[in-house]
Amino acid sequence: MPYPNAMPSTYPSEASAPPPLDCARHAVFLDFDGTLVEIAPRPDAILVPTDLPARLAALSDACAGALAVVSGRSLPELAGYLPGFAGLMVGSHGAEARGMAPPLGDSPSGLAMLQNDLAAFAASKGLLYEEKTHGGALHYRQRPEAADEVAAFAADLAAQTPGFAVQPAKMAMELRPAGVSKDRALSALWALPVFAGRIPVFLGDDTTDEPALDWAGTQGGFGIKIGTGDSCAGYRLPDPEAVRDWLAAAQGVSWGV
């Protein structure tokens, strides 16, 4: 059955709700922040539903293991938020992985200096710096007027540090290893036997998720955009609560908070 991979639209006037999740046929790939949990003013201030790890574990079992969390967060941090979920997990936009060979071995040289420069810039401008395993991010949610300055600094730093690239995100600019992306991570996951014969479904909310949303469509599946904004995804859900409800409906249960 083909699924639409629509041209960019704006939620909700041109959006449609996704079809029900079919644990026997679908392969489920889930972003974390903004998809499974609400975005918070600070990355360390998110509220994770207490039953989320157990529910993900049960859903993974229902899908015979064909479920993976694919996030921009570092893998150790992501695992720390989901204790009890032992399923497939990808961190740092695809640079780290659990359950398959890591897509990236070592970070490009210059990582420590890059992280120092990011931290110093954030401190001097009143921004939030988030260190990651293979890079770092500058968050300007508290200072939206600094967007252009942050973007210019990130671009200059990437140009001076071979092997790294700028990754724009919601109210943030991240420096990550060049060549790393969520769609490439999905391609690597897709080669695992557990996904054979299934229909890929990717859920994500950010610009960092667009390549993965598109990838799902090109592989005969579909993407689900969470929230507002232009997207290549053919389907929409309004927020993480709706995502959790959509996932729970496949098992006939309701997820708590």
Q: Is 204 helix (H, G, I), strand (E, B) or coil?
A: strand
Taking Cα atoms as reference points, which of 84, 26, 24 lies closest to residue 58? 84
User: Residue 4 pLDDT more than 50?
Assistant: no
Q: What is the mean pLDDT of the chain?
A: 88
Beta bridge partners of 130: 137
Residue-level pLDDT at 168? 87
118-to-39, 93, 165, 177 alpha-carbon distances in Å: 22, 18, 13, 15
The CATH number given to 111-177 is 3.30.70
Superfamily of 26-104+180-249 according to CATH: HAD superfamily/HAD-like (3.40.50.1000)
The model's pTM is: 0.84
Tens of pLDDT, residue by residue over 112-161, are: 999 999 999 999 999 999 888 888 899 998 899 999 999 999 999 999 99
Q: What percent of the chain has pLDDT over 90?
A: 68
Residue-level pLDDT at 218? 96
The residue type of 252 is G
**Domain 26-104+180-249 shares a fold with domain 111-177:** no
Mean pLDDT of 20-38: 96
Mean pLDDT of 41-70: 94
User: Residue 42 pLDDT more than 90?
Assistant: no
* pLDDT band, very low/low/confident/very high, at 11 (cuts 50, 70, 90): very low
Residue-level pLDDT at 2? 44
* pLDDT band, very low/low/confident/very high, at 108 (cuts 50, 70, 90): confident
The residue type of 240 is P
What residues are annotated to the active site? 31
Mean pLDDT of 52-80: 94
Residue-level pLDDT at 135? 87
Q: Is 248 helix (H, G, I), strand (E, B) or coil?
A: helix
The residue type of 79 is A
Where in the chain are the domains? 26-104+180-249, 111-177
User: How far apart are alpha carbons 223 and 236 in whole angstroms?
Assistant: 8
102-to-109, 165, 167, 188 alpha-carbon distances in Å: 18, 19, 20, 10
The residue type of 205 is D
User: How far apart are alpha carbons 117 and 139 in whole angstroms?
Assistant: 14
* pLDDT band, very low/low/confident/very high, at 13 (cuts 50, 70, 90): very low
Tens of pLDDT, residue by residue over 157-206, are: 999 999 899 988 888 899 988 888 899 999 999 999 999 999 999 999 99
Taking Cα atoms as reference points, which of 182, 175, 197, 198 lies closest to residue 113? 175
Residues 6+ apart with CB under 8 A from 37: 46, 47, 48, 49, 52, 81, 240
User: Residue 12 pLDDT more than 50?
Assistant: no
